[in-house]
Chain A
Amino acid sequence: MKKIIAMLLVFVMVMGLVACGASEPAATTEAAADTKPAASTEAAAEGDKKYEGVTLTMWSMWNSTEPQGQVIAQAAEAFEAETGAHVDIVWKGRDINQVLSASLEAGEKFDIFEDDYKRIALQYADYTYDLTEMAEAVDYNSFSYPCLNDTVIDWVGYLNSIAEQPQVGGIFYDKAAFEAAGITELPTTWDEFMAACEALKTAGIAPLALDATYADFTFYHHLVHQLGEDRIEELALNGGWDQEPGVAAAAQDIIDFVNAGYLVDGAPDEFPSSQNKIGYGLAAMIVCANYVTAEVNNNTQTEVDWGMMSYPAVDGGAANSATYAGANSLAITKYSENPQAAFDFIMMLTTGEFDQMMADTAKQIPADSRNTAPALQDGTVEVLLNSESPMSWCASLHANSDLKDSIKTLCINLYDGKFATGEEFAGAMQALY
């Protein structure tokens, strides 16, 4: 027995060595293959390239296997061929926000990084490069979305990030479902919206899909339209939910909506189960940001014909035109040695050919407003261009970061039909304080 165990152990160890051995040479040959052609072209064209010998390091929020990652890698290759600057891409993945602060503080060597534009503005501003001049030099505002740039300047005082994947929120719907229900005109008020839901329900399609993750975001739309973001922030920070009649009124609207049976079976569900139901033809609409369209199409391997509309206006609401907008953006570290080269690479990635490629392969809104959005993002570019003061992602509701998880639970419960009246909901919110 002992011998067998010893042999097995040796086997495991050898396997380990073989596996490591196998992977490492592969990596080195790859690297060699990568560098050689580059080196030879470099040698051939030496002298006439703009950033000869410059190496940029970029920390990406994607994985190399995701479509976004593949486009970035291609852009980096093209950039090297054109300018001679080599771009090293480190794939940090979506958890990049957990390492960025510490790495920036420690002054780690990297030039470009990707994250949510709001985090870049509010958390990393001290370590980011002021892009104002470079942006002006290329007339950046003329081909990007001024509403996003203005928001950044509003937060930081200057432009410190360049939008890479703009996002816009609202109601995304299956055009075929609307057609089947005979809805020809998009609802713009809450009453019209309820009527449209009734028509969908009669046609046998559940009106709204909702995953628990988006419960607060969905209710936030209603609340913002009713009260405006500033008022919500006041309430979130200081309480007083039960004193504000708008809260109970907004909650009551939702309770009526739920009681009318307008939510799809299982909602609020575990992400992404509910949103996928649109792909399976079981539900018609979802309140989300534009990426939901690509996610659903991917997940369910269908081609839903997506449309987008604004969240309906609430009677007597304070901010009925509020629309969510945001972006994953690129920023340059303050201590970067080659900010201009970094900026040029960012421009290459976010305009023209590569931006179009990004929009098409990752099914996103183009960062360059002169490009065209893929079919399933139809209409999003216009909404973004026309938006003046974008609403942030539940920001004022999350103003009290310690309570945000509890508030979210209450929002989920609201859609789960746990409250009989709007006052009850307002009371539960107030009870958190």
Chain B
Amino acid sequence: MAKYHERINWKKEARLLPGYIIVILWCVFTAVMVFWVFGASLSTSREIFSGKVLEFATGFHWENYIAAWKTQNVSVFFANSLLYATVSCAGVLLISAPSAYVLSRWNFTCSRTIRLGLLISMSVPAIMIIMPLYTLAVQWHLKGRILLIALYILMRVPYTTMYLLDFFSTLSRSYEEAAYLDGCPPAQTFWRIMLPLVQPAVVTVTIFNFLSVWNEFFMALIFTSDETMTPVGVGLLQIVNSMKYTGNYGGMFAAVMIVFLPTFLLYIFLSEKIISGVTGGGVKG
């Protein structure tokens, strides 16, 4: 932290100049792209095609957003994604947290196998599991939102369990011993005492689960069969495709912004937490 108050050492900065140029160019490129798309989302198709996006000669076309939100169904996609992301985040915690705790505390029959199984599951490609799951879903007449939520929960279980397991193993056993002496039953000890103790890890892993479900595409493409249950990713693809027939480019870029913004805003506030989470915990190879 003290670094920031250091006086500028021009010699040192000059040596770092090539580095600055490279990262600044990269960031400028990213920014231009996002700003242009934002600009396009406020323009008409004609302005976009004639290359006059950032001039706003005919004003700001906020109605593109209204059109995208209402007539292009983005509101439905958005609500679906929020529903999927929040419910599966909660669901996966309910399944994973207790197991992670038990795995971190005791060795029992199969505990090694289960750990290994979790680890391997994390790198099983989706294409290996999707076909039988599709068959099951059709045979059991499972469909709609429930099916997707269930799949998302199951999909995130291995990662979440492994991530939380690491944190539970760092907790001292003295908590449980104290609780045991007070006569608190073990299950309650877990929910009341142990789980709150790993709250930071729970928050981090939930952020990751949220992002991953929000951005999920492959399963959604295969398992959503009608527009009322489509999440944002697949919905956006549909909008992009039908835009080619209807020509509402402004509306399409507005839809892109609407899909882009929630995770982007989340990231602005939580980037430190997210970045430290990427390299900490379960992902470490």
CB-CB contacts below 8 Å: A266-305 with B: 271-272, 276, 280, 291, 295, 298-301
* Cβ of A417 to closest chain B Cβ, rounded Å: 26
Please give 5 more A-B residue pairs, beta carbons under 8 A apart, in addition to A8-B269, A20-B83: A5-B273, A63-B242, A91-B226, A94-B238, A299-B247
Q: Please determine whether A6 and B203 come into contact, CB atoms closer than 8 angstroms.
A: yes
How many chain B residues touch the partner (CB < 8 A)? 38
Checking A19, A271, A280, A301 against B82 with a beta-carbon cut-off of 8 angstroms, the contacting residue is: A19
Query: Does A36 make an interface contact (CB < 8 A)?
Result: no
Query: Does A201 make an interface contact (CB < 8 A)?
Result: no
For the complex, give the distance between the alpha carbons of A299 and B243 in Å: 8
Query: Does A17 make an interface contact (CB < 8 A)?
Result: yes
* Cβ of B73 to closest chain A Cβ, rounded Å: 6
Q: Please determine whether B85 and A16 come into contact, CB atoms closer than 8 angstroms.
A: yes
User: Which of A93, A295, A300 counts the most B-chain CB atoms under 10 A from its CB?
Assistant: A93
| B-side interface mostly | helix
CB-CB contacts below 8 Å: A13-66 with B: 13, 15-17, 19-20, 22-23, 63-66
Query: Does B101 make an interface contact (CB < 8 A)?
Result: no
For the complex, give the distance between the alpha carbons of A278 and B157 in Å: 53
Q: Please determine whether A15 and B82 come into contact, CB atoms closer than 8 angstroms.
A: yes
Q: Please determine whether A66 and B242 come into contact, CB atoms closer than 8 angstroms.
A: yes
For the complex, give the distance between the alpha carbons of A4 and B271 in Å: 13
Checking B71, B72, B75, B247 against A298 with a beta-carbon cut-off of 8 angstroms, the contacting residue is: B247
Q: Please determine whether A63 and B238 come into contact, CB atoms closer than 8 angstroms.
A: yes
For the complex, give the distance between the alpha carbons of A15 and B269 in Å: 16
On chain A, the residues within 8 Å of B83 by CB distance are 16, 19-20
For the complex, give the distance between the alpha carbons of A358 and B58 in Å: 33
Q: Please determine whether B200 and A2 come into contact, CB atoms closer than 8 angstroms.
A: yes
For the complex, give the distance between the alpha carbons of A332 and B86 in Å: 39
Q: Please determine whether A102 and B86 come into contact, CB atoms closer than 8 angstroms.
A: no
| A-side interface mostly | helix
Q: Residue on A with the closest CB to B221?
A: A95
On chain B, the residues within 8 Å of A6 by CB distance are 199, 203
* Cβ of B106 to closest chain A Cβ, rounded Å: 29
Query: Does A258 make an interface contact (CB < 8 A)?
Result: no
Checking A13, A17, A271, A300 against B247 with a beta-carbon cut-off of 8 angstroms, the contacting residue is: A300
CB-CB contacts below 8 Å: B192-239 with A: 199-200, 203, 206-207, 210, 225-228, 238
Enumerate 21 A-B pairs (CB-CB under 8 Å) in ascending A order.
A2-B200, A5-B273, A6-B199, A8-B266, A8-B270, A12-B266, A16-B86, A17-B86, A23-B79, A63-B238, A64-B227, A65-B72, A65-B73, A93-B238, A103-B225, A106-B138, A276-B247, A291-B245, A295-B245, A298-B246, A299-B45
For the complex, give the distance between the alpha carbons of A301 and B238 in Å: 21
Interface string of A79-116 (1 = CB under 8 A from B): 00000000000111110000100110010000000000
Q: Residue on B with the closest CB to A23?
A: B79
Using known A-B contacts A65-B73, A298-B245, A301-B45, determine if residue A91 contacts B266 with beta carbons closer than 8 Å. Answer: no
Using known A-B contacts A16-B82, A102-B138, determine if residue A272 contacts B244 with beta carbons closer than 8 Å. Answer: yes
* Cβ of B170 to closest chain A Cβ, rounded Å: 17
* Cβ of B256 to closest chain A Cβ, rounded Å: 17
For the complex, give the distance between the alpha carbons of A271 and B244 in Å: 8
Using known A-B contacts A23-B79, A63-B73, determine if residue A5 contacts B247 with beta carbons closer than 8 Å. Answer: no
Query: Does A134 make an interface contact (CB < 8 A)?
Result: no
Q: Please determine whether B75 and A91 come into contact, CB atoms closer than 8 angstroms.
A: no
CB-CB contacts below 8 Å: B26-47 with A: 45-46
Q: Please determine whether B226 and A19 come into contact, CB atoms closer than 8 angstroms.
A: no
Using known A-B contacts A5-B203, A6-B203, A295-B245, determine if residue A99 contacts B79 with beta carbons closer than 8 Å. Answer: no
Q: Residue on B with the closest CB to A297?
A: B247
Q: Residue on B with the closest CB to A213?
A: B244
For the complex, give the distance between the alpha carbons of A173 and B210 in Å: 51
Query: Does A9 make an interface contact (CB < 8 A)?
Result: yes
Query: Does B76 make an interface contact (CB < 8 A)?
Result: yes
Using known A-B contacts A2-B200, A63-B227, A65-B72, determine if residue A9 contacts B138 with beta carbons closer than 8 Å. Answer: no
Q: Please determine whether A9 and B206 come into contact, CB atoms closer than 8 angstroms.
A: yes
* Cβ of B271 to closest chain A Cβ, rounded Å: 11
Interface string of B237-270 (1 = CB under 8 A from A): 0100110111100000000000000000010011
For the complex, give the distance between the alpha carbons of A20 and B207 in Å: 19
Using known A-B contacts A13-B86, A106-B138, determine if residue A301 contacts B79 with beta carbons closer than 8 Å. Answer: no
Q: Please determine whether A9 and B207 come into contact, CB atoms closer than 8 angstroms.
A: yes
